[in-house]
Amino acid sequence: LPIYLTAGFELGGFDAGEQHFATGDGYSYTRVANPTHTAVERRVADLEGGAEALLVGSGQAAVSVVLLGLLRPGDHLVASAHLYEGTRGLLLE
């Protein structure tokens, strides 16, 4: 699998772009998704026996994604005082 070193992908014209943004199929911007990340996510999910996987850029990004996915407005979170300072800062904001 090639590594796609790009920030954006060609959509092939206005009609193709309209179709892409209407359906979400394909790739438009690498921070949203790209073929390399999709391949890694599928392989990790297969290796771990999971339905899906999500590739993020750092441990702090992983913590943020998990917390934002689990917590809802009004929820309370109890955490240890012995956390990584970046996580502590995230929780205090």
Residue 29, classed as helix, strand or coil, is: strand
- Residue 27 pLDDT level (bands cut at 50, 70, 90): confident
Distance from C-alpha of 47 to C-alpha of 67, rounded to nearest angstrom: 24
CB 17 within 8 A of CB 26: no
Q: Taken in order 26, 31, 32, 37, is the CA torsion positive or negative?
A: positive
Domain ranges in the chain are: 1-55, 57-93
Of 34, 45, 27, 28, nearest to 1 (Cα)?
34
34-71: pLDDT as tens digits: 888 889 999 999 999 999 999 888 889 999 999 999 99
